Structure 1
Amino acid sequence: MQVLNKSARPVAGSQRAQGSRRSSKMPVIRAVAAVEKTLVTTKSDEVMAEARTLFPGGVNSPVRAFRSVGGNPIVFDRVKGPYCWDVDGNKYVDYIGSWGPAIVGAANDEVNEVLRAQLEKGTSFGAPGPLENVLAKMVIDRVPSVEMVRFVSSGTEACLSVLRLMRAYTKREKVLKFVGCYHGHADSFLVKAGSGVATLGLPDSPGVPASTAAATLNATYNDLESVREVFAANKGQIAGVILEPVVGNSGFIVPTKEFLEGLREITKAEGALLCFDEVMTGFRIAKGCAQEHFGITPDLTTMGKVIGGGLPVGAYGGRKDIMELVAPAGPMYQAGTLSGNPLAMAAGIKTLEILGRPGAYEHLDRVTSKLVDGIVAAAKESGHAITAGHISGMFGFFFCDGPITCYEDAAAKADTAKFARFHRAMLEEGVYLAPSQFEAGFTGLQHTDADIEFTIEAARRVLKRI
């Protein structure tokens, strides 16, 4: 008999018997046998108890708190390849990958090697360094929209900077985003935002000035008519449109090509700029990002995650005539002490180099397709409604009948209570999924067929009992 603590997480101890279902090489999660209803305190519980006295909600980013799936978060001790270990010694197949950056595998040996070499030279210069040029040329070469780039330290910083740039270039103040899309926590974007805001069930964030909120317009994703209506009601006032070209912050939602093509046509006709927020999709779903995958070239692009190889990083770039407005070339001011720091540049260069090798994206597509198809089949075998999808190394699923074309669909249809039960039970099985129905999942180059088959079998067992 397995006994769980209040958070419904298995407890470190002797290995749970699984018979022939698990090979010795597959990740296992351990539990102790004890009297039913016995409460056990784990190291994760202890760390989180202390953390709640130190940080708001015990975490430094809200979705980590597990609020929408229940129970305590597991506290990580280390990561390697496609696996993570918590402080209690439990091992999991990891489908978060630090929320996307670990696309070549966590603590990748090649990335670690260049980081060790750079440590000897210094971690921060606050001055130009040659690695900035190397990574910039790689980005410009691969991303269709980017003629010049500026490195920053986070995706939020990239998005708030590109918003300022759109306003400076067009001399207009309003910006159009889409309900449920998340572009970081800058004031202008915390209006009908997705991701952690949706996960926690929060209203538009307190602390955002009414004047700022009024300058942020919203339309419905995959609905061109809603976009036309907003432009008609704000004629000549909209600086630009920003969107996730594949939504990952309302769950995984794919755009129609007609939607993206329509946005490109509307923004050109209205004299507004089009920005793809590729912080999540950048270099993950294709070598040239989502814009290459869909064949739509925006005016501006924001990036992050993958291009830092696991270190904090962000970037924004686009047409040269727009980017030359950025200081010191132009009057739009933006700066950062750690921008382009040599550690992040070194890790990003090696990561993009690995992704450029033959077969990298084919591997991501194959293992992700196998994972999604397997989970869908397992759900249907047990009579659960499910809809799912993937592009390359990015995926997601909802416990409901499809289609899901926008955040409003996801919020109205998805069975979040079932997802919470599924998530907790998958942790018991040794699988670490995003702790929110409204977050995409990620695979990496180091996920193997054995990892995928282990996960599918775990899902099959879980779906039969929840």
Structure 2
Amino acid sequence: MTTSEQLFKQAKQVIPGGVNSPVRAFRAVGGSPVFIKSAKGPYVFDEDGNQYIELINSWGPMILGHAFEPVEKAVRDAIQHSFSFGAPTRKEVEMAELIIDMVPSVEKVRMVNSGTEATMAAIRVARGFTGRDKIIKFEGCYHGHGDSFLIAAGSGAVTMGTPDSPGVTKATALDTLTAPYNNLQAVEMLIDNNANQIAAIILEPVVGNMGCVLPEPGFLEGIRNLCDQHGIILIFDEVMTGFRLAKGGAQERFGITPDLTTMGKIIGGGMPVGAYGGRADIMNVVSPAGPVYQAGTLSGNPIAMSAGLAMLRYLNEHPEVYTRLEEIGGKLAEGFRAGLVKAGLNYTINQIGSMFTLFMTDRSVSNFADAKSCDLPLFGRYFHAMLKRGVYLAPSQFESLFVSVALTDDLIEQVIQANEESLREAIQ
């Protein structure tokens, strides 16, 4: 028994399912999860001493690679002054100013502790601002584990086979309307059937939680227009795409301005953090400026703020990072497609910048139904074949991969070669 297997056995005795987030359990791919001991640059190392080229990067935040020195130094410097104050700090102000400078739509911002907390708060703010109760989300989009979002959810909920979680009340479900991603007509019908009742439409501008799914031309523009016509708050969940697809996130890349934006991942440099922000008139309903209550003892934690500031300042001052991320994502997608051709497979690869997914289906994937057509047992075999060759992928077909600038051209070639060999092994 490996050390990871032993740890998983121990974990199942004291942690539900042996993990603290469902997708980590490897149930979607079979076998036991790998327990990570450390990481540096493009690599993670497990408890058994194995080294893997990393294509998850903590689900997005390690855009510069693991243990990036300026971020490490910022954390070391910050901890000398204690770990938490529960009081205002200079770094909170500096972080807010930097986010507002980098993200086109944000005029005011509130720091929280996770992406889930950010999306929950954004929905509450939208309801408080509009005086309406209902929201529209998209099938397969995952916005954290808040009750309002566990209706036709993506990511871990799909991986575990329970997209509609017990514990979510019928009343909550009734206030959450769902539409297929990339389907404007379905959104129009929901709005027409619930006139003057929709507070917000929330979506991932590029989906990461049913695999990487891109908006079709005109989709985001159409959603923006519908919101304008009907007084609906448009919320972009940029927890994954923010500061990754561009300095200003997907909204900068696509030229669409949401009313509210939720952020996470990169703004903490890997530390637990989230934020939501947007138009000043909307954000001014948040307590203590307004009546919509939201609070958190650890919000704006000085260690997290220090890590995030170091990360965002580096990204803001080094635009070449984004040029390199485009190159890496393009090379990997091109190499994976070549591997599919050699294996005689007509499967789909979706890629934008440093996000991509190999879907085990010959259908183009533009929504949740398309993603669910994948051959999941084949993906499981492929995943373990890649792991055996030292490449650490997301342990679920329904996840995007995230690359970092720590990947060298030599490592890219290693990953492409591993993909080719793993595809051949998986289909045998």
Interval of TM-score (by shorter of Structure 1 and Structure 2):
over 0.9
Q: Is this contact kept in 2: 1:393–1:443, CA < 8 A?
A: yes
Aligned equivalent of 1:90: 50
User: Percent identical across equivalent pairs?
Assistant: 52
Q: Structure 2: how far apart are the matches of 1:451 and 1:131?
A: 36
SS in 2 for 1:339: coil
| Structure 1 residue ranges (4+ consecutive) displaced by more than 4 angstroms after TM superposition | none
Q: Is this contact kept in 1: 2:28–2:160, CA < 8 A?
A: yes
Aligned equivalent of 1:193: 153
Please say if 1:204 is aligned against 2:204. Answer: no
Aligned equivalent of 1:393: 354
Please say if 1:237 is aligned against 2:189. Answer: no
Residue 406 of structure 1 aligns with an amino acid whose one-letter code is N
Q: 2:401 aligns with which of 429, 441, 445?
A: 441
Aligned equivalent of 2:59: 99
Q: Is this contact kept in 2: 1:375–1:456, CA < 8 A?
A: yes
Residue 309 of structure 1 aligns with an amino acid whose one-letter code is G
Q: Structure 1: how far apart are the matches of 2:315 and 2:351?
A: 18
Q: Structure 2: how far apart are the matches of 1:465 and 1:204?
A: 35
- Which of these two proteins has the greater Rg computed from alpha carbons? 1
Q: Is this contact kept in 2: 1:183–1:277, CA < 8 A?
A: yes
* CA shift for structure 1 position 385: 2.3
Aligned equivalent of 1:432: 392
Q: Is this contact kept in 2: 1:380–1:386, CA < 8 A?
A: no
Residue 83 of structure 1 aligns with an amino acid whose one-letter code is Y
Q: Is this contact kept in 2: 1:104–1:354, CA < 8 A?
A: no
Q: Is this contact kept in 2: 1:243–1:277, CA < 8 A?
A: yes
* CA shift for structure 1 position 368: 1.1
Give structure 2 stretches of 5+ with no counterpart.
Answer: none
Q: Structure 1: how far apart are the matches of 2:424 and 2:172?
A: 48
Q: 1:380 aligns with which of 341, 348, 353?
A: 341
* CA shift for structure 1 position 197: 0.5
Post-superposition CA distance 1:400-442 (Å, at most 9, x none) = 223111011111x211111111001100000000000000000
Normalised to the residue count of structure 2, the TM-score between the two structures is 0.98
SS in 1 for 2:364: coil
Aligned equivalent of 2:325: 364
Q: Is this contact kept in 1: 2:203–2:236, CA < 8 A?
A: yes
Residue 84 of structure 1 aligns with an amino acid whose one-letter code is V
Post-superposition CA distance 1:141-186 (Å, at most 9, x none) = 1111100000000000000000000000000000000011000000
Is 227-236 or 377-386 further displaced after alignment? 377-386
1:6-405 alignment runs, 5 A limit? 41-356=1-316, 357-405=318-366
**Count of aligned pairs:** 425
Residue 286 of structure 2 aligns with an amino acid whose one-letter code is V
Q: CA RMSD for the aligned pairs?
A: 0.8
Post-superposition CA distance 1:365-397 (Å, at most 9, x none) = 101110111011111111122111222211112
Post-superposition CA distance 1:337-365 (Å, at most 9, x none) = 00001111111111112222131100001
Post-superposition CA distance 1:212-265 (Å, at most 9, x none) = 010000011101000001001101100010000000001110002300000000
Give structure 1 stretches of 5+ with no counterpart.
Answer: 1-40
Q: Structure 2: how far apart are the matches of 1:163 and 1:224?
A: 21
Q: Is this contact kept in 2: 1:257–1:294, CA < 8 A?
A: no
Is 322-331 or 384-393 further displaced after alignment? 384-393
SS in 2 for 1:409: helix
Q: 1:418 aligns with which of 374, 378, 382?
A: 378
Aligned equivalent of 1:30: none
Post-superposition CA distance 1:237-296 (Å, at most 9, x none) = 000100000000011100023000000000111111100000010001111100000000
